[in-house]
A = this chain, B = another copy of it.
């Protein structure tokens, strides 16, 4: 019996476990014994893996898995590095795979994870190892190139748009008796895809957000204050969506203007805290208006109770195709989604051969989809996002709360 191991890497999403469910069920169908590595490549290096049959040889548990946020197997942000510089790590990984007679390796992740898939696949080819390596995309940031969009993005959009409808309604509760400003900070370091989804909140019973500031456009504090002042002349209650990653022309993050106490993570990314808070203070000081910062934090990536049915189904399909490719012996390839042209939204699941073109490349919003002058997004971008939030996933409730499945750790 052939053996497949699957891992999850990078920031979790609401539907990354849907992809895991797809890998597992299709893997079984293709005759694999399916294992999970705990905490991605980092756990694998410690030999940490589990037999997924222990959990999922039970269709109820598989349904719970599809509704469970975060990474069921645990995740990591482990930078494998180049093989020539870290021969020992590569050797160790292949020793572990050989010892456990693993034939195929599927990694569910974003940019950094595709880098790992690429490196391992290249190493295997160069060293005549029989294992094959497949990447399956996930990221709320939607910043992977080639694929039309990434599983996880649609559910985060649905969470953001739903939450913003509620926030906009709440923020308007004083009407014209009080000027109120809410500044909602949304994830997305370099790409504004997620922040752009704030535009989806607008419908015939919600006026929508009043401005959207994306990291693709240089942020000007003085303009921001002026534009907010103009908005407040027209209406009393405004809601502004900002990306955590907005930066001034000279490349400083907005939060850096107030707060120099930033940390960096393992990839050298700066942790961006308090962008909405910084802007709120600036508005309070300059305009004398109460500005409430609201930071969606991890809620936007973990809000599985608001998962998009479209997104969950796509996440599962991507996982299934991953297992299918693994069975076919493909390597160094990534599952992608292609949107069919035409009015009706339809996705084709395809294979992209050259993972080199995906790893470490960040896809940003095309500038022609941004309405820079009005601090908003254009209809093309709304049309791109709207289909991704369609449909609801029926949750399994017990005692008033949605049920999940969690790993039994010793």
Give the B-binding residues of A (Cβ under 8 A). Answer: 12, 38-39, 42-43, 64, 68-71, 74-76, 158, 161-163, 165-167, 169-177, 182, 200-201, 203, 205-206, 261, 263, 273-274, 277, 281, 284, 290, 292-295, 297-299, 301-306, 308, 386, 389-392, 395, 397-406, 409
Contacts and interface: CB of A to CB of B under 8 A. Distances in A.
Contacts of A397: 392
B391 A177 contact: no
B175 A406 contact: no
A43 B178 CA distance: 12
Contact of A70 (B39, B173, B295, B406): B173
Contacts of A169: 68-70, 302, 404, 406
Contacts of A273: 277, 293
Contacts of A281: 261
B304 A166 contact: yes
A167 B299 contact: yes
Contacts of A200: 400-401
14 contacts: A64-B205, A70-B170, A75-B173, A166-B303, A167-B302, A182-B298, A201-B401, A294-B295, A294-B297, A294-B298, A295-B295, A386-B400, A389-B401, A390-B399
Given A158-B400, A166-B299, A182-B298, 13 more contacts: A38-B175, A42-B177, A43-B177, A69-B170, A74-B173, A76-B177, A203-B401, A205-B405, A273-B277, A292-B298, A294-B298, A392-B395, A392-B397
Chain multiplicity (copies): 2
Contacts of A201: 401
A395 B162 CA distance: 12
B302 A161 contact: no
B299 A294 contact: yes
Given A169-B68, A305-B162, A174 B76 contact: yes
Contact of A277 (B167, B274, B386, B406): B274
Given A38-B175, A173-B12, A281-B261, A406 B205 contact: yes
A166 B13 CA distance: 11
A202 to B, nearest CB: 10
A400 B64 CA distance: 22
B175 A39 contact: yes
A405 to B, nearest CB: 6
Given A12-B170, A173-B12, A292-B298, A401 B74 contact: no
